[in-house]
Chains A and B, each alone.
Chain A
Amino acid sequence: MAEQDRGNEQYITEQFKRYYATEAQRVEAPPEIRRREFGFLSFGGRTMFRHIGFQDPQQFRGYLREYAPAHTYFSAAYYKDPRASMAEKGWLGADLVFDIDSDHFDLPCQKEHDRWTCRTCGKEGKGHPPETCHDCKKATFIEETWLCENCLRAAKYEAQKLLDILIEDFGFQASGELSVNFSGNRGFHVHVRSPSAKELDQLARREIVDYIRGIGIEAEYQGLIARRGRGGTASEQRGWRGRSIRALYDFIAEATPEQIKGLKLGRGASLNLIESRDEILTALMNKQPSRVVKYIDGKSMGKLLEAAVREQASAIDTVVTTDLRRLIRLPNTLHGKTGWLTQNIPIDDLADYDPLTQAIAFTEGTERVFINRAPEIVLSGETYGPFEEESLELPLAVAIFLLCKNAARVER
């Protein structure tokens, strides 16, 4: 994104200050605050202030009031001395954290609202930028990424699948051990706080990531390829075993013949999937996966399963979860790229949660801004834009959102 306008930065900082003056009091400090590292970014700041520690919630809230940071982070990790340099901190454990960001998804709506411009030759396009520019072959772009209810719904769906896996398979307690937050921009975070999660090392966290993404799943171990002496009904439906049968069922039921051909399965298997679809679905529905074997050979089953599990897996970011020293956004603080709140959501309320209404921080007042270019945005049920080179008096939440996205400037 282009550099933030100096005037904008000043204006947003003032607004954030005004917000924190009254609301900092309501920001909940993370559990075990004295063991946590904090990090902050200011508007226009290029480097993060990190290795910061606080003795108690009051001291921390004082910091928010004084500096009104654009972004507020805390460590998933617990340290003996959070203020020391990385090597000296003394790692004691870390919450298990997950990040779901719709920017990593491939969604049709992104082709509507996201744009890129090649830094070298100025070529423009919609959606995600290509690996290299088609015209000049360079690989650096200015990106304008936006979001809409579609992206957020997609992210929420992934978060729900993640929570299901964490509760059903890993046995974490929905109340007490799991918390889910709207990230304040394009996604959701899930934090697991439990003694068994805290001590997991990097390798273990990587296995959990693979589990949740369905990476490395093999049909043989899902009871989907019968060996001699094996087979019969899979009475056990634990973990991915049950889920992969559901995944296969849904995938086969919904796949078009073109999609099936696209998987490049064995010829017999492709044909059977199209011609004997009902028989295969019945076998899966009766949880008799071994009966599927006569229609689909082992190798084809592997490919089919890999494609099918994507729908049941959760598209978590792989780096965030495996990083033992990650800083992650603190709930109920402001997000400097939207002016919205990073917001904790009770798990039971997640299904009905609408960030575009509930995470709005600046609920009162208006501001006149000049907008360069911005797609349509729906906030609190009202539709605004699309905008193109126009000057408008807008509700403060909309104005600050456009300013944070650097698509507008204040007109006074």
Chain B
Amino acid sequence: MISDREAAKYPFLNDAVTYVETLGLTLENLVDPSYTGVLERGERRVSQAILSGEATVELEDTLTELLSFPVANMFITAMAEEYLFRRYALSEAARAHELLKDEAEERIAKLARLEFGWDLRLVQERVGEKLYRFEAHFKDYLKNAASFREPEWKLVNRLIRNGYVLLTKRDASRLLQEEIQRRIGSLVSKRRRISLPDPLRIRVNNLQKLFDENRSRLTGQALPTKLLTEALPPCIRHAFQGLMAGRRASHMERFALTSFLINAGMGIDDIVKLFASITDFDEQFTRYQIEHIAGLRGSRTRYTPPTCSTLKTHRVCYEPDRLCERIKHPLSYYRIKVRDYQRE
């Protein structure tokens, strides 16, 4: 049985969720004035996600802290804002990380193994200035670290032997934060219509208003409809110029260019014209491929361009500049540059 305090600290744990279920709370219960504190804290968890991106830890009243988590989840699901699913999960995972990094190694190991099924062992190895306290199977490491951009997280820069990667306590807590974020993300991102009693509905409306006020700050501006070639990242510019010159391009390079142009808002007819004018491809075939990438055919998935790290792997990344160091997706580069140009 999980203690109130542990459940309040980590309300996403299976045991904590079961514990809350045994309390058998209903929506009608929540309207009762005795739960006002829970509702307020639930609303604040969401507003903290919107405003700061990190929920605070409030363990003075553990039951309120615990019960406000499913309430906040419900608010997020009811708001049904795709972007908020992610931001809220991140905010709650960052909160958990704050707590995790001060836990004992044994506690961290137990959580990783039992909650998230990691293949993890406790060790004690000092290498240089670092004290490694865990080794995790590379599959568990990669599941969480593969999207990190900092060089210290690249597997090639890690100490790995026989399938196990050495981790410091700091590393392990950071990787667990990813697991937690995914779990909370899947808890809230359900497509579900929830009909809420008025006192709750009012809180959701408040949060919706708060999100609307912050929406453009958080999700960024829409891109212009005409391609701004001056704002292209070096890799896409290189692919683009290569195409113009008739240089042979790898499949990945062509895919990166095409999906980039589509996502940067260039019309399909314009892309077809561009490609057909300078290559020997027949127009029908070119159009078919472009429409496929745009999600108009086949699986109906609209493809986004590969990330910077994928482009590096496939050697499409070309002469990265200083802005490249700050971003991990070519479209982010384009967005920032476009904004700069629009300001001028």
Q: Which residues of A contact B (CB under 8 A)?
A: 86-87, 129, 131-132, 137-140, 168-172, 196-197, 199-201, 203-204, 206-211, 213-218, 220-223, 227, 229-232, 234-236, 238-241, 318-319, 322
Contacts and interface: CB of A to CB of B under 8 A. Distances in A.
B128 A232 contact: yes
B146 A216 contact: no
B139 A206 contact: no
Given A318-B314, A319-B314, A234 B160 contact: no
Contact of B157 (A132, A140, A240, A318): A240
B156 A203 contact: no
Contact of B160 (A227, A231, A235, A239): A239
A191 B155 CA distance: 21
A138 B157 contact: no
Contacts of B300: 87
Given A170-B163, A207-B142, A210-B309, 5 more contacts: A87-B298, A171-B161, A196-B139, A215-B156, A217-B157
Contacts of A229: 128-129
A137 B278 CA distance: 12
Q: Is the interface of A mostly helix, strand, loop or mixed?
A: loop
B143 A204 contact: yes
A210 B299 CA distance: 29
A138 B246 contact: yes
Contacts of A322: 310, 313
A210 B129 contact: no
Contacts of B298: 86-87
Contact of B162 (A168, A197, A234): A168
A310 to B, nearest CB: 13
B246 A206 contact: no
A213 B309 CA distance: 14
28 contacts: A87-B301, A131-B247, A131-B248, A132-B246, A168-B162, A169-B161, A169-B162, A169-B163, A170-B163, A172-B163, A196-B137, A200-B139, A203-B147, A207-B142, A210-B156, A211-B155, A216-B156, A216-B157, A220-B151, A221-B158, A229-B128, A230-B128, A239-B156, A239-B158, A239-B159, A239-B160, A318-B313, A319-B251
Closest 5 CB pairs of A and B: A171-B163, A221-B157, A204-B142, A203-B146, A171-B162
Nearest to A243: B156
Given A215-B156, A215-B313, A216-B151, A208 B142 contact: yes
A207 B146 contact: yes
Contacts of B160: 169-170, 238-239
Interface string B104-126: 00000000000000000000010
Contacts of A238: 159-161, 166
A206 B146 contact: yes
B170 interface: no
Contact of B142 (A171, A200, A230, A239): A200
B152 interface: yes
B164 interface: yes
B155 A171 contact: no
Interface string B289-300: 000000000111
Given A87-B299, A196-B139, A222-B157, A139 B247 contact: yes
A206 B313 contact: yes
B131 to A, nearest CB: 12
Contacts of B315: 318
B299 A86 contact: yes
B127 interface: yes
Nearest to A322: B313
Contact of A204 (B146, B151, B152): B146
Interface in B215-265: 245-248, 251-252
Nearest to A133: B246
Given A131-B247, A318-B313, A221 B152 contact: yes
A208 B127 CA distance: 23
A118 B341 CA distance: 43
Contacts of A221: 151-152, 157-158
B253 to A, nearest CB: 11
Contacts of B147: 203
Contact of B128 (A169, A196, A217, A223): A223
A210 B158 contact: no
A199 B142 CA distance: 11
Contacts of B129: 227, 229-230
A206 B157 contact: no
Contact of B127 (A137, A218, A236): A236
A229 B131 CA distance: 13
B154 interface: yes
A140 B280 contact: yes
